[in-house]
């Protein structure tokens, strides 16, 4: 029987830490500002952006959303990003993905100021991560690391298996684990014998995007299981990438879906915004 990792409670703790840092910055005359850019009408994106607005307000960050029509040109979007990059009151900038197909996602990412790239997607920030240097880290992997840390797990020398190799989760996740001296395996859609790889994991990160792909009987007894999946099943219910019931009987710790990784992403976005605000002004890390 696993212990449940309560992502909602841990995210609330992170938001509390952020809120304190925002307050002490305000006492020094600094108002932290996060700008979110949303292009088009994707309903899920609109929900995510509203959640970011709500979280910003809750921790005292000035959240500003730029809602742009679906036919916004790439050039107009790049012009907006350039003006945000020059604005001293802008601490963090996030372009909600996906952008409409006529806009090149890489050009948008590259146009961002790495110092304000609170998503941690800019090649400079990814390069800083790989070279073990300070920089903004992608929110979901950073939030997953916090969940692992909250279990008291010492990652040194442990086998960590990341399933999924996206730029948003899998790749940065693997490097964060490597930085903490785990022995890291990255699995993906072409991996042979996935059950055997997963059975080796002391720590398993599932970030595939396929409901219940990881079966409970594959889990090593005592493993820490972090499920990044957010899939809707046929009944419209939110489910992770891991068969929760099966894994629950074998894991030592497991994240539920919902209420595990999900709440951590936005909490770490808020935290990244404060980190960016401090770093850009030469102030020390408040956390
Ligand atoms: N769309 C889905 N997830 C993300 C994310 O983490 N950042 C951004 N900018 N867009 C997303």
Q: Which domains does the chain have, with CATH numbers?
A: 29-115 (3.40.50.10860), 139-262 (3.40.50.720)
Q: Number of C-alpha atoms within 13 angstroms, CB side, residue 220? A: 18
Regarding the beta carbon of 95 and ligand 1, being less than 6 Å apart is answered yes
- How far, in Å, are 83, 153, 168, 205, 234 from residue 140 at the CA level? 27, 19, 8, 11, 26
Residues annotated catalytic, as ranges? 52, 96, 119
Torsion sign, CA atoms 171, 142, 182, 257: negative
pLDDT value of residue 18? 98
pLDDT along the chain (287 residues), means of 10: 97 98 98 98 96 98 98 98 98 98 98 98 98 98 98 98 98 98 98 98 98 97 98 90 98 98 98 98 97
Cα-to-centroid distance, 265 and ligand 1 (Å)? 9
Regarding the beta carbon of 119 and ligand 1, being less than 6 Å apart is answered yes
Regarding the beta carbon of 38 and ligand 1, being less than 6 Å apart is answered no
From 94, 171, 261, the mutation candidate for ligand 1 (largest count of ligand atoms within 8 A of CB) is 94
Cα-to-centroid distance, 97 and ligand 1 (Å)? 5
Of all protein residues, whose CA lies closest to atom 3 belonging to ligand 1? 97
pLDDT value of residue 235? 87
Regarding the beta carbon of 272 and ligand 1, being less than 6 Å apart is answered no
Q: What is the DSSP-derived secondary structure letter of residue 222?
A: T
pLDDT value of residue 219? 98
For 77, the token pair is 């979007």
Residue 3: φ, ψ to 5° = -90, 140
DSSP of 140-172:
HHHHHHHHHHHTT---TT-EEEEE---TTTHHH
- How far, in Å, are 30, 152, 155 from residue 132 at the CA level? 29, 23, 17
């Amino acid at each position: 029987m696993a212990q449940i990792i309560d992502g909602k409670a841990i995210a609330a703790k992170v938001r509390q830490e952020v809120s304190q840092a925002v307050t002490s910055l305000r006492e020094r005359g600094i108002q932290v500002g996060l700008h979110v850019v949303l292009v088009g009408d994707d309903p899920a994106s609109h929900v995510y952006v509203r959640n970011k607005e709500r979280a910003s307000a809750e921790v005292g960050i000035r959240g500003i959303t730029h809602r742009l029509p679906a036919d916004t040109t790439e050039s107009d979007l790049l012009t907006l990003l350039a003006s945000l990059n020059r604005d001293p009151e802008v601490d963090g900038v996030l372009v909600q993905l996906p952008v409409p197909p006529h806009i090149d996602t890489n050009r948008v990412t590259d146009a961002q100021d790495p110092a304000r790239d609170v998503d941690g997607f800019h090649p400079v920030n990814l390069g800083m991560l790989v070279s073990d240097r300070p920089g903004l880290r992608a929110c979901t992997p950073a939030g997953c690391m916090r969940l692992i840390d909250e279990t008291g797990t010492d990652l040194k020398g442990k086998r960590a298996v990341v399933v999924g190799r996206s730029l948003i989760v899998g790749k940065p996740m693997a490097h964060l684990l490597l930085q903490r001296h785990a022995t890291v395996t990255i699995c993906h859609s072409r991996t042979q014998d996935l059950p055997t790889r997963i059975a080796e994991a002391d720590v398993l990160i599932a970030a595939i995007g396929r409901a219940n792909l990881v079966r409970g009987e594959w889990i090593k007894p005592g493993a820490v299981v972090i499920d990044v999946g957010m899939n809707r099943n046929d009944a419209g219910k939110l489910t992770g990438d891991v068969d929760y019931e099966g894994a629950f009987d074998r894991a030592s710790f497991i994240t539920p879906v919902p209420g595990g990784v999900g709440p951590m992403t936005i909490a770490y976005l808020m935290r990244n915004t404060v980190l960016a605000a401090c770093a850009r002004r030469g102030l020390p890390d408040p956390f």
